[in-house]
Amino acid sequence: MAQINERYVVDDKGKRVAVLLDIADYERILRELEELESVRAYDAAKSAKDESVPFDQAVSEIERNRP
């Protein structure tokens, strides 16, 4: 994993209550989370025993059902 330069905000007792990140680190984390979400969705779809539909057919059905 890439180096993240985080800084912490602490309360009056020294307890960490927030994190400050460089915007580039934050945006990279968001991209990685989106990719992880896609991988999880793919894994879930692969493990489902649902009948698969060819992509062209799925697009046609979606277009037909649009209001």
First-to-last alpha carbon distance for the chain, in angstroms, is: 45
**And the tokens for 8?**
């912490």
Tens digits of per-residue pLDDT, 20-54?
999 999 999 999 999 999 889 888 878 887 787 78
Q: Which residue has the tokens 């968001």?
A: 30
Residue 35 included in any domain: yes
Number of independent structural domains in the chain: 1
**Nearest alpha-carbon partner for 24 in 10, 44, 41, 4:** 4
The reported pLDDT for the residue numbered 1 is 64
Residue 57 included in any domain: no
What pTM, to 2 d.p., does this model score? 0.62
Residue 59 included in any domain: no
Residue 7 included in any domain: yes
The reported pLDDT for the residue numbered 54 is 85
The dihedral built from the CA positions of residue 38, 43, 46 and 49, taken in this order, carries a sign that is negative
Residue 37 included in any domain: yes
Q: Which residue has the tokens 């990719």?
A: 35
60 or 26, higher pLDDT:
26
Residue ranges in 1-67 assigned as alpha helix (H): 23-47, 55-64
50 or 60, higher pLDDT:
60
For 1, the domain range is 1-48
